[in-house]
Amino acid sequence: MKILLKYLIIIALLVVGGWLATQTYQTVQAKKEIGKRVQTLQHCSFESLNGGQIFVDEFDKRKPTVIIYFNPECEHCQYEASEIGKEAEQFAKANMILITPDDSVKRVEAFAAKYQLWEVDNLTILLDRGKQFKNRFGTAVFPSTFIYGTDQKLIKMFRGETRMDAIIKSLPQPPPQDGEKKAGTREA
């Protein structure tokens, strides 16, 4: 009887160990897949404040895209929002997309008004009612920032509170327009 019990315990441990190893492997593979997928701006939609679906990869492709995942009640998000409102001019040449899992439109609108986000012409706030952000972007940390170039390739990703100057410095500089002088060049 004792020998049978030992074998049952060994078999149970092997089964549990195998299951844990499989789960760990699947988690690592899923993270790798998301890591690859996030390198290019995803074709995924989130809900606008008025109820329509908006795809994040369908904004002006001539501009870089900044996506910030936030929660109106997060102090770090509040800091970033206040800085975005103050630096609105710096973000004029980028698509600014703020995505929140908060499903209270009134709370989100009050947040945007408080931090003068409505003053940023190119800013769009979307709702993540389906809680798909983590599956698409691999994180649900508040705030998280993703910067994509005009080619829709990931330039930089920040997790947690980030200073606006770091985000602004990560934005690609647009090529000079005809007649404009390139920085660092002299006119003849």
pLDDT at 188: 40
Backbone phi and psi for residue 108, each to the nearest 5 degrees, phi listed first = -70, -45
pLDDT at 34: 67
pLDDT at 91: 87
Pairing mode, if any, of strands 95-100 and 123-127?
parallel
Nearest-angstrom CA–CA distance, 120 and 128: 21
Structural tokens at position 94:
């980028």
pLDDT at 78: 94
Q: What is the pLDDT along the chain (188 residues), one digit of tens a residue?
A: 788 888 889 998 999 998 998 888 887 777 777 667 778 898 899 999 988 999 999 999 999 999 999 999 999 999 999 999 888 888 888 999 999 998 789 999 999 999 989 888 889 999 998 888 988 888 778 999 999 999 999 999 999 999 988 999 998 876 555 555 544 444 44
Nearest-angstrom CA–CA distance, 148 and 63: 9
Strand order in the sheet with 123-127: 53-55, 45-48, 123-127, 95-100, 65-69, 144-148, 154-159
pLDDT at 121: 83
Nearest-angstrom CA–CA distance, 157 and 165: 14
- Closest by CA to 56, choosing from 100, 91, 96, is 96
pLDDT at 187: 44
Structural tokens at position 102:
């908060």
- Helix, strand, coil percentages in the chain from 3-state DSSP, rounded to 5: 45, 20, 40
